[in-house]
Amino acid sequence: MATSEPQALVTLDQETRLHEDDHHSIKLWLRLLTCSSLIESRLRTSLRETFDTTLPRFDFLAQLERTPNGLTMGELSRRMMVSGGNISGIATQLVNEGLVERSPLPDNRRTVLVKLTPKGARTFAQMAEEHEHWIIGMLGHLEVAEVDQLMVLLSRVKEGL
């Protein structure tokens, strides 16, 4: 009986699509996409394993943490660039867990304002602290001068868009 040797795991990412003669802009796009996807994937895993939560829920809480007076569901939807239905589902889950509260605006009862509860603020603070450690763990090997250079170059990319 033949035994098979363990095969090396091959990481498939967006850059595997590259061809040597691809335009440099395509190569850059796929490198940016790969890096972003790898970071996001690790964050999703860490949030799930450490806090039993998702990246959209973390982002939802982060938006509210930045605006202590709360946000309307429409504002949350615009800031997170997702549909109102997605926001509504996340809000319901977080209300049920006691992390956020919803209340109608006094001057417009059809518009709902969402705010962090004290429990939500404490929970998010713990998540944000870990999130910061994870990001530093992934990008902290870069020297300050390298980060500065990347920031300048990415600003040029952003301006071109």
Residues 64-104 pLDDT 10s: 999 989 999 999 999 998 877 889 999 999 999 999 999 98
pLDDT band with cut points at 50, 70 and 90 for residue 60: very high
Q: What is the pTM of this model?
A: 0.82
Q: Which of 122, 118, 102, 116 is nearest to 63 (CA)?
A: 116
- Per-residue pLDDT for 9 more than 70? no
The residue-averaged pLDDT of 112-121 equals: 96
| Domains of the chain by start residue, with CATH | 22-160 (1.10.10.10)
pLDDT band with cut points at 50, 70 and 90 for residue 11: low
Tell me what pLDDT residue 83 has.
79
* Mean pLDDT over each residue of the chain, to the nearest integer: 89
Q: How far is 138 from 28, CA to CA, in rounded Å?
A: 20
- For residue 101, give the 3-state DSSP assignment: strand
pLDDT band with cut points at 50, 70 and 90 for residue 1: very low
